[in-house]
Amino acid sequence: MVYLQITLDVSNSNRPAAAGVYEKYRAPFLDTITGAKSKDLLVREEDVQVIHGFDTVAHAQAYLESALFNADVVVALKPLLNGAPEVRIYRAAQGATSHRCGVSL
């Protein structure tokens, strides 16, 4: 399994709206993105994380270049963020590695 982790700096006042973006695009992500396996929202005191599950690193990277991500998710989230997100791809296996990905919102 491969995980795409996007960490977002979202003010408490904007978290309900950010959660709404997550809910709006969860089903389209799972239904239309090649290799998509799961999508979860994690809310922590210091930030919000969206964890996407994929079958391969290539599919996770392709999602970051997809219209759904760039034309829909990024556009909806951008006004809610306090700064640039942190984007990483992890492979769950022995000798797992992580990759930082440059994404600007």
pLDDT exceeds 90 at position 84: yes
| Mean per-residue pLDDT of the chain | 92
Reported in sequence order, the residue ranges of 18-85 that DSSP labels E, i.e. its strands, are 36-43, 48-54
Q: Which pLDDT score, from 0 to 100, does residue 92 have?
A: 84
Backbone angles phi, psi at 35, to 5 degrees: 85, 0
pTM of the model: 0.86
Residue count of the chain = 105
Q: What's the mean pLDDT in 35-51? A: 96
The architecture (CATH level 2) of 2-49+56-85 comes to 2-Layer Sandwich (3.30)
| pLDDT exceeds cutoff 60 at 74 | yes
Calculate mean pLDDT across residues 96-101.
Answer: 55
